[in-house]
Amino acid sequence: GWNEGWIEAPRRVGAKITPLIGAHAHEVIATDSTSPNIFKLVVAALQSSERRTVLSEAGNFPTDLHVAEGAVRCVPGARLEIVTRESIARSIGHDTALLLLTHVHYKTAQRYDMQALTAAAHASGALVLWDLSHSAGAVAVDLNGANADLAVGCGYKYLNGGPGAPAYLFVAERHQDRLANPLSGWMGHAAPF
Ligand SMILES: *Cc1c(COP(=O)(O)O)cnc(C)c1O
């Protein structure tokens, strides 16, 4: 495994996903499943900010809210604010560290305007984590075109990865030095040995 390139597979497979989501090869890795990827990015975003609120939508996919609920319990002072879909944009406030949103809704197929909401979040100093599970492979996505910060998605829906296929996560190049993986196992550590 060490000598036959398996260790690089998360980057290699991640790079193959990038044309579908508008990212650079070094911004995406195929790893874990969607839920732990959300956990890692929510905690990393909170730890990189003075702000303590994660903002999400009441109708978000269940695991996204369950994971966010657990993630905020791990960060002192952090809280999860859940509002209606219609009031997301106007609920971004001075304490909002992160918006956690699913780009294409799993029941209604309603789609957020990724570029506009990302711009609104940035204007008030917040980041956005986009869940692309119902987007990648189904509709065009341009993360860098929208100046996106963070994203996750599963590999087993429109990417046809089959049962047990890993998910992926995206971290925009500009955030890579600032964000630390809170699951610091050896593969998540700068110095594995
Ligand atoms: C399918 C789906 C998931 C799945 O999460 P897993 O951890 O892979 O089970 C997460 N978020 C959304 C929006 C989904 O559609």
Mind giving me the DSSP string for 165-191? ---EEEE-GGGTTT---SS-SGGGSSS
CA 16 – CA 10 distance, rounded (Å) = 10
Centroid of ligand 1 to alpha carbon of 134 (angstroms): 9
Find out whether the beta carbon of 63 lies less than 6 Å from any atom of ligand 1. Answer: yes
CA torsion sign for 77, 78, 84, 85 is positive
CA 115 – CA 135 distance, rounded (Å) = 15
Find out whether the beta carbon of 60 lies less than 6 Å from any atom of ligand 1. Answer: no
Find out whether the beta carbon of 27 lies less than 6 Å from any atom of ligand 1. Answer: no
Q: Whose CA is nearest to atom 8 of ligand 1?
A: 34
pTM for the whole structure: 0.97
Centroid of ligand 1 to alpha carbon of 4 (angstroms): 31
Find out whether the beta carbon of 133 lies less than 6 Å from any atom of ligand 1. Answer: yes
Closest CA to 129 of 93, 179, 77, 163: 179
Q: What is the pLDDT of residue 188?
A: 81
Centroid of ligand 1 to alpha carbon of 131 (angstroms): 8
Mutate to test the pocket of ligand 1, among 33, 34, 66 (most ligand atoms within 8 A of CB): 34
Closest CA to 106 of 165, 154, 60: 60
Q: Would you list the DSSP string of 30-56? A: E-S-HHHHHHHHHHHHHHT-S--EEEE
State which H helix or E strand residue 66 sits in. helix 62-73
Q: For the segment 92-109, what is each residue's pLDDT rounded down to a tens digit?
A: 999 999 999 999 999 999
Residue 1 reports pLDDT greater than 90: no
| Residue 76, token pair as written in the block | 């002192």
Q: Which residue has the tokens 């309603």?
A: 110
Q: For the segment 137-191, what is each residue's pLDDT rounded down to a tens digit?
A: 999 999 999 999 999 999 999 999 999 999 999 999 999 999 999 999 998 888 9
Q: Which atom of ligand 1 lies at the shortest distance from residue 37's CA?
A: 7
Q: How many CA atoms lie within 13 Å of 118's alpha carbon, on the beta-carbon side? A: 18
Share of the chain above pLDDT 90, in %: 94
